[in-house]
Amino acid sequence: MIQVRAIDKSYTLPGQKITVLKKLSLDIAEGDFVAIMGPSGTGKSTLLNLLGCLDIADSGSFILEQNTISKMDDRALAEIRNRKLGFVFQSTIFVDYLDLPDNVAIPGFYSGMSHFDGRQRAIGLLKQVGLGHRLSHLPGQLSGGESQRVAIARALFNRPRILLADEPTGNLDRRNSVEIVNMLRGLNAEGLTIVLITHDETVARAAGKIFTMQDGELKHHAGQ
């Protein structure tokens, strides 16, 4: 499903070039639940951004379901993000002036879904994540755990093939973390491929495969 071969990524800061990923390769099969661990600044988020088609590698190849991502233009990448990928970020990002159903339905805006249909599907997803009683609320009125559940509902809106989660429990207490991890497990059990970035070993244990990032390189750490 995902085939990454020898990708490099570096950033240029005034006076210096910082290499973040070095000849990194990774294979993820359909239905995998992959966790990537490692200390801060080792390139975990950079890798997730590349897998999420938000950024392009300097060299190497990245193939996502037979699509060579490095050769795609802005429109095609946006289409892939919209149709095939779902994102959950550490800091919950919402459109603060839209209520929860409208926030969850944002991916639908860009797939041509009507506003009414979008809201109906969003309401269904919010009920699924246990927030059916907060439909008229604005994102600013939610707790951390609730926000992350809304983010998962939004990520699932266009029925993606892969869910990319960047420290989804980073800002949550233990109880909410467990809830989110259980939710991810459940989704994976239904066949959704998940790539999870986390500091937390207990969270990573939910995954079938665990990798560790160190100095821009990926090492298979545990799992099958």
Using CB under 8 A, list all residues that contact another protein.
49, 52, 54-55, 74-75, 78-79, 81-83, 87, 89, 93-98, 102, 106-107, 109-112, 114-115, 154, 157-158
How near is the Cβ of 193 to another protein at its closest, in Å?
17
C-alpha 103/C-alpha 155 separation (Å) is 11
User: Distance (Å, rounded) from C-alpha 124 to C-alpha 140?
Assistant: 21
- Rounded least distance, CB 98 to another protein, Å: 6
**C-alpha span between 2 and 26 (Å, rounded):** 8
- C-beta of 105 vs 210, nearer to another protein: 105
Q: Which is nearer to another protein, 194 or 210 (CB)?
A: 194
Instruction: Take residue 109 and report the two structure tokens written for it.
Output: 């805006």
Which residue, 87 or 206, is less far from another protein as judged by CB?
87
C-alpha distances out from residue 63 to 28, 70, 189, 204, Å:
11, 8, 24, 25
List of residues 6+ apart from 43 with CB closer than 8 A: 9, 20, 21, 24, 213, 216
* In the complex, least distance from residue 221 CB atom to another protein, rounded to whole angstroms: 26
**The residue count for the chain:** 224
Residue 35 near residue 28, CB atoms below 8 Å: no
CB nearer another protein, residue 114 or residue 224: 114
Question: What is the rounded distance in angstroms from the CA atom of residue 210 to the CA atom of residue 222?
Answer: 5
Q: Minimum CB separation from another protein for residue 147, in Å?
A: 13
User: Closer CB to another protein, residue 86 or residue 206?
Assistant: 86
Q: How far is the CB of 182 from another protein (least distance, A)?
A: 24
